[in-house]
Structure 1
Amino acid sequence: MAQTLYALLLFLVLTPFSHGFAHAGDDLFQYSTIDALLAGLYDGDMSIKNLMTHGNFGLGTLNGLDGELVVLDGTPYHIRAGGKATVPPETAMVPFATVSCFEEDTILKLERTASLDALNTAVELGLPSKNIFYAIRIDGRFPFVKARAIPKQNPPYAPLHEVVKFQEVVQFSGEGTLIGYYSPPFVKGINVPGFHWHFITKDRTGGGHVLDCSLAPTTARMDALHSLTVSLPNSREFNALDLTHDASSALETVEKGTAQ
């Protein structure tokens, strides 16, 4: 069983559990930490089946850092290197993931957007607060999406900023969905401060971690999340990690998809 750490409890509104999920309402559930992933901990002890009890919307990766994970409308999708998306078995394991029960409470109108940086700026301007978490869903038409996934690695694992050089970048155009989270700056080391986006096509056959994109006018549906629950791996590997260093530079390399 994973050790559960109730970190950063920010309950502004107490919402009862619902929909049969272990954590619902305004809670963001996270397995492991981004710094552990950056350090090369690519094997976790949480299954897709267990993860899906905590939410119907989210993102992450699979053991061995095998591509990308998207959770949308209650269905998990495994996006392998090359961009192909399939539904993984319930027994598949994850080393890092964030999920929530998506219930929109804010709709933000978006004009035509030429880049991911422009999208981040537009969404950030529309956030009611920059001090809480948001799950963000954007359905629309995308002139282009530049996305990546990393092939499954073999142990001993290299740190993520080195492994990212093996990423496979693909480009999509057409209708699809951005699955994203905004996290406030104080989660540094735990999650990705700012925005983290994954993409999946409308027919749910392709996608990846978003490096850049453009989109036609549409809306962003946002769900404010006032609490964070972090479940830590119960393993000797996690316990032995040195997580005392500032990994901000490595995270920037990984998020932008550039190798050092």
Structure 2
Amino acid sequence: MLYQHGTLANLVPGGFAGTQTLAELLTHGDTGIGTLTGLDGELIILAGVVYQVDAQGAVRQPALTERVPFANVHPADFAGHGLLTAATAAETQAKVLTTLGTANAFAAVRVHGTFARMRTRVVAKQVAPYPTLTATAAAQRIFDARSVTGTLIGYYSPTLYAGMAAPGFHLHFLSDAHDFGGHVLDWAGVAGVLETELFADVQLHLPIDDPAFMARALDGPDVLAAIQQAEQ
């Protein structure tokens, strides 16, 4: 089962306050992605260990008392599909969708291998009163690596559920050396082992104890456009 705390739609108007601890999040899975309070960096969760890539490009293991406004996790039970080679991100995604056999189900995707080029971004930590999600683009850092070996990890979400999650692929990366990573923007020249996991069940956990979330208007017509802009 895929577990998700919070929604991407809640981030659009600035819902960056952490509403669940990492300790609680990890009771629902040992693999996943997310961010910390204030959009402080990008999280990569592998084998029950949480790694944060910050806006300086540094990688650390945050305390389990730190909180997330948004995260996905699941208990890893991947099916292996052997070696995946692709020249571009678009080719990689097309091959993954062919392997999944459907565009109508949630799925986890993991590729461990070497990438000729990997481009990531990390948003600098925001402070309250928080700006909108699109406004944080001015505070993001872009990182590039060549011939980097590591893990591409994340999820595919059907377009039908846009707003709850980002439609399509939402992927993060962490190098094996733990010196590079972030939210993935693009990559090229991948050669690695592809693993996938389809989900029949998805648990969405909402922060109903957070008054700001309960009062926030999240049904504006620009919500999906803002999510797509922020994910690019």
- TM class, shorter-length: over 0.9
Distance across 2 between alignment mates of 1:70 and 1:106: 20
- Aligned residues of 1:112 and 1:215 also touching (Cα < 8 A): yes
Partner of 1:224: 198
Distance across 1 between alignment mates of 2:79 and 2:152: 17
How big is the shift at 1:91? 0.6
Distance across 2 between alignment mates of 1:138 and 1:215: 13
- Aligned residues of 2:174 and 2:181 also touching (Cα < 8 A): yes
Partner of 2:152: 178
1:122 matches 2:98 = no
Q: How many residues align?
A: 229
Distance across 1 between alignment mates of 2:102 and 2:193: 18
- Aligned residues of 2:157 and 2:167 also touching (Cα < 8 A): yes
Partner of 1:236: 211
| SS in structure 2 at match of 1:215 | strand
Identity fraction in percent: 34
Partner of 1:136: 109
Partner of 1:250: 226
Distance across 1 between alignment mates of 2:231 and 2:10: 15
Partner of 1:161: 134
1:91 matches 2:80 = no
How big is the shift at 1:57? 0.6
| SS in structure 2 at match of 1:53 | helix
Could you say what the CA RMSD is over the residues aligned between the two structures, in angstroms? 1.3
TM-score normalised by L of structure 1: 0.84
Partner of 2:75: 101
1:153-186 Cα offsets, whole Å, 9 max, x none, are: 1111111011122101111231111011011122
1:131-164 Cα offsets, whole Å, 9 max, x none, are: 2111111000011111010111111111101112
1:63-114 Cα offsets, whole Å, 9 max, x none, are: 0110111101110011100221110001110000000011113526422323
How big is the shift at 1:121? 2.0
TM-score normalised by L of structure 2: 0.94
Partner of 2:185: 211
Uncovered stretches (5+) of structure 1, i.e. residues with no partner:
1-26
| SS in structure 2 at match of 1:222 | strand
Answer 1 or 2: which has greater strand percent: 2
Structure 2 counterparts to residues 17-36 of structure 1, below 5 A: 27-36=1-10
Answer 1 or 2: which has greater helix percent: 2
- Aligned residues of 2:3 and 2:203 also touching (Cα < 8 A): yes
Distance across 2 between alignment mates of 1:34 and 1:91: 22
